[in-house]
Copies of this chain bind each other. A is one copy, B any other.
Amino acid sequence: MKKRLVVIGGVAAGPKAAAKARRCDPELEITLYQEEDAISYAGCGLPYYIGGLIEEREELISRTPGQFAQDGIKVKRNCRVEKIDSKEKKVWVRNLESGERFEDYYDWLVLATGAQPIRPKIEGTDLENVFFLRSIFHADVLLQHIKSENIRRVVIVGGGYIGLEMAESLMRLGKEVTIVELAPQILTLFDEDFANILRRYLESKGVQIFTSEGIKALKGKDGWVSHVQTILREIGADAVLMSLGIRPQVELAREAGLRIGETGAIWVNERMETSVEGIYAAGDCVETTHLVTGKRVWIPLGSTANKQGRVVGVNVCGGNATFSGVLGTTIFKVFDYHVAKTGLNMIEAEREGFHPVQAIVRGYDRARYYPGMKESTLKVIADRPTGRILGGQAIGEGPSDKLIDVLAMALHAKMTSYQLAHVDLSYAPPFSPALSPVIVAANVIST
């Protein structure tokens, strides 16, 4: 009898695992269950779709159900897996359209159940024109309403990077945007100095920002949201985007008796195996290891989901692939600023027992004399006693992505600032100063 692979979750890690398994083993029977109508879509592209930069919804779809079918992967959309019996290797599924319930069997099961938006327990989150953004379904709902001229003022609750990307998209649609953040700064993954560079930039673009300001309630009129009540003021709002972050979707895993890690996400080993034999997990629902600290972390990202899905696909076919961990490398674009980070920030480094020192330098994208220069501000952080590079941040119109990728590689290599000061990076006037800004920063640290 043919072996059966069942995949739960159809956005990134799930489809990747299914597709890779198919390539490794053409004989495998593969079924993928997805709660939503859409599958295999680019979740990271949603803010750009809402802002109109990406015009066609179809552009976000990587592979259609038809393409999966051609590969012999059965895709069941609008189907929720409600229970797993890991002893019998059985799942109970409900078709959300027809209400029909049925069972399925697996030899290998992959959980790629993702994450869901945090819903704070405050009054008013069920009012009309209060939106969450996580899935393409949320984006569809938001788009149906947001373009209305009745929506002029939008309050974004939460100053993380999804909130900031959405600020740009909403400005593009002609909205007045206010961001309210509970923490003393937006962008809490970054050091305060760098977060403030971005804050000033966003304010110069017309975004209003309040920090250190908790939300008490969303108030409405006739069932429609009318303002946001913070601890300090009332902010008039024709719509509210709740962007307080996400949490891993682990209910199914927990009920099935899978180990949940200290981060609240599903525990897996390097092979992406859960604590229960025959069950793998990957993507935004799992925790992994931070390669600088060695600790378990939950850092959900599309690129990580893709890599993990691939590892699962190899392993269900008898391979021996591993995923050793992440550095917390992050990047996003807001207006013309490129904002990126890898490794630890100063606060995180201190908390982990390092003795961090930092260098802040100008991150030019070309030689001073070559026309059209763009600049990011670059911070490189190292441990003073050992010289080991711990992380970096870059922000501005310049080559933040390149600078942070070089630093990420330095973190993978466990380089010291002294070693980093001598790396042989590509130089010609249109591409870099003679000494890469990363090297300049490493020099500052190591002298």
Contacts of A359 in B (CB 8 A): none
Residues of the B chain whose Cβ atoms lie less than 8 Å from the Cβ of A412: 409, 413, 415, 419, 423-424
Q: In the docked arrangement, what's the CA distance between A307 and B439, Å?
A: 9
**Residue A233 interfacial (CB < 8 Å):** no
Inter-chain contact B369/A60, CB cutoff 8 Å: yes
State whether A430 touches B307 (Cβ < 8 A).
no
Point out which of A53, A305, A427 has the most chain B C-beta atoms below 10 A from its C-beta: A427
Q: How large is the interface on A (under 10, 10 to 19, 20 to 34, 35 or more residues)?
A: 35 or more
Task: State the Cβ distance, A324 to closest chain B Cβ, in Å.
Answer: 6
The one of B333, B371, B399, B435 in contact with A53, judged by C-beta atoms closer than 8 angstroms, is: B371
From A54, which residue of chain B is reached at the shortest CB distance? Answer: B369
Residues from chain B with Cβ under 8 Å of A42 in the complex: 367, 369, 429, 434
In the bound complex, do residue B435 and residue A331 qualify as a contact, i.e. CB atoms below 8 Å apart? Answer: no
- Quickly give the copy total for this chain: 2
The residues of B that contact A310 with a CB separation of less than 8 Å are 443
B426 engages A329 (CB within 8 Å): yes
Q: How far is the CA of A429 from the CA of B401 in the complex (A)?
A: 12
Q: Which of B333, B402, B419 contacts A402 (CB 8 A)?
A: B402
A426-447 contact mask (Cβ, 8 Å, vs B): 1 or 0 = 1111111011100100010001
Render A288-323 as a binary contact track against B, CB cut-off 8 A, 1 for contact.
000100000000011111110010001000000011
Task: Give 21 CB contacts A-B under 8 Å.
Answer: A44-B427, A44-B429, A45-B369, A45-B429, A53-B371, A291-B424, A303-B427, A303-B432, A305-B434, A306-B435, A307-B439, A322-B422, A323-B422, A324-B422, A330-B426, A338-B430, A402-B405, A405-B425, A409-B425, A412-B413, A413-B413
Instruction: Rank and list the top 7 A-B pairs by shortest CB-CB distance, nearest first.
Output: A409-B409, A413-B413, A303-B427, A331-B426, A59-B369, A327-B424, A402-B402
